[in-house]
């Protein structure tokens, strides 16, 4: 009998009942705008900022309209101006180089290694060659590189690190949360991330000047005192007059949906990792499949899993995607000539300077990705692994 998977790869768990009740309360109040509050009520967004900063272990937090806006505002607040070169991963999603382009920066791509992490030797080389003073570090698909060495390189070269943590909310390196290494951490609450408000994001930092600039950039008008985890008024005295308003605020409705989800996030991290481990265990028995090696220092969040099939030709990769799809398994392939769905290949980003990264091309050419929503059971994940393994063997 041939297994066929019947799960839906885009179906998330329902919004929790207490989040729905909180959202209904906001709707009934009519006070959706984050600064439209009554009396001493701080509002849902300010409360969320305070709670997320505490959970993250950061001094300041700004709630924003999207993770992409968090990236842009973090770069502007860190000092990126038109024409600045910004180092970033060759393997990431289009919003990352897009954010650099949006603030007028010039993306300089850094090679990745076979474990999908930034190649730190290439980072060191390109930092010296370019003199770039900014790194937008994408923890792509939840893989943290050796953060101790990366920060030594960055500090030695005078590089400000901005962390894209869209895939690592809750991940740690030697016990330190992702987002707490560089000058700012940026997070997403888009539907397919670790908390779901449809769209949304956070910027966290311990730098009061950066936080104040980010608050004004987010669109606070003169209402910066209504933020839940922002610096004191003295930090804003001059910054509020010299910083433009970018209108990228989160609203109280989305904040109300997120606050109960934050309380369940630690448990969900464990649930994702159970599912990741079940798929990984099933794939490890196939000698044709290579999984990224997770360092002992890293605790990830397994909301997706990646694997490579080294030696597969382009035709074999396409056959794997097609045949797995016929059995109900939606694989994403990062080696396609054109971007499909949420996959990315830096060669399709034609708005950035043309660059050649042979090592990354080799890795991406046989790289596959599988989303693992929490609507899948651990048993489902065992079925997924079996179908993928059988399909790879059949194609080979």
Distance of CA 372 to the CA centre of its chain: 15
pLDDT(109) > 60: yes
10-41 confidence digits (pLDDT tens) = 999 999 999 999 999 999 999 999 999 999 99
Q: Look up residue 96 and give its two tokens.
A: 């990352």
Tokens of 3: 């297994």
Is 265-395 in CATH node 3.90.1150.10? Answer: yes
How sure is the predictor about 340, in pLDDT bands with cuts at 50, 70 and 90? confident
When pLDDT is averaged across residues 319-343 and rounded to a whole number, the result is 90
- How many Cα atoms within 13 Å fall on the side-chain side of residue 62? 38
Lowest mean pLDDT among 44-58, 178-192, 340-354: 340-354
| Contact call for residues 336 and 345 (beta carbons, < 8 A) | yes
Q: What is the mean pLDDT of residues 163-176?
A: 98
- 17-263: CATH topology: 3.40.640
Residue 31 neighbours by CB distance under 10 Å: 19
**Residue 216 pLDDT:** 98
**Residue that the structure tokens 């009519």 belong to:** 30
Q: What is the pLDDT of residue 1?
A: 55
Q: Report d(CA 54, CA 98) in Å as an integer.
A: 30
Rounded Cα gap, residues 99 and 151, in angstroms: 22
- Torsion of the alpha carbons at 318, 321, 322 and 327, rounded to the nearest 10: 160
Per-domain residue ranges of the chain: 17-263, 265-395
């Amino acid at each position: 009998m041939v297994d066929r998977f019947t799960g839906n790869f885009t179906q998330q768990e329902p919004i929790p009942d207490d989040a729905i009740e909180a959202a209904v309360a906001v709707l009934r109040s009519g006070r959706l705008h984050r600064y439209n509050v009554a009396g001493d009520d701080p509002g849902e967004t300010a409360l969320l900022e305070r709670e997320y900063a505490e959970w993250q272990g950061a001094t300041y937090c700004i709630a924003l309209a999207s993770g992409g806006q968090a990236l842009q505002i973090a770069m502007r607040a860190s000092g990126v101006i038109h024409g600045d070169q910004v180092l970033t991963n060759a393997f990431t999603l289009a919003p990352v180089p897009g954010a650099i382009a949006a603030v007028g920066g010039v993306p300089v791509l850094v090679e990745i290694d076979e474990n999908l992490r930034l190649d730190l030797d290439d980072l060191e080389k390109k930092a010296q060659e370019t003199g770039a003073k900014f790194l937008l570090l994408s923890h792509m698909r939840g893989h943290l590189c050796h953060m101790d060495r990366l920060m030594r390189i960055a500090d030695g070269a005078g590089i400000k690190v901005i962390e894209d943590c869209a895939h690592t909310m809750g991940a740690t390196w030697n016990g330190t949360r992702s987002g707490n290494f560089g000058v700012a951490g940026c997070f997403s609450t888009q539907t397919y991330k670790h908390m779901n408000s449809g769209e949304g994001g956070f910027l966290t930092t311990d730098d009061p000047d950066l936080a104040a600039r980010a608050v004004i950039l987010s669109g606070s008008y003169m209402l910066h005192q209504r933020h839940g985890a922002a610096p004191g008024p003295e930090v804003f005295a001059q910054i509020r007059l010299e910083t433009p308003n970018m209108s990228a605020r989160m609203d109280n409705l989305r904040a109300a949906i997120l606050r109960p989800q934050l309380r369940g996030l630690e448990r969900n991290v464990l649930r994702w990792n159970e599912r990741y481990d079940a798929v990984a265990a099933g794939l490890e028995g196939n000698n044709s499949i290579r999984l990224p090696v997770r360092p002992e220092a890293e605790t990830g969040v397994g909301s997706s899993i990646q694997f490579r099939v080294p030696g597969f030709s382009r035709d074999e990769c396409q056959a794997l995607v097609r045949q797995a799809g016929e059995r109900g398994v939606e694989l994403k392939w990062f080696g396609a000539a054109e971007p499909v769905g949420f996959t990315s290949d830096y060669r399709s980003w034609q708005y950035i300077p043309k660059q050649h990264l042979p090592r990354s091309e080799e890795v991406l050419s046989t790289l596959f990705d599988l989303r693992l929503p929490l609507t899948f059971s651990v048993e489902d994940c065992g079925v997924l692994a079996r179908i993928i393994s059988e399909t790879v063997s059949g194609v080979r």
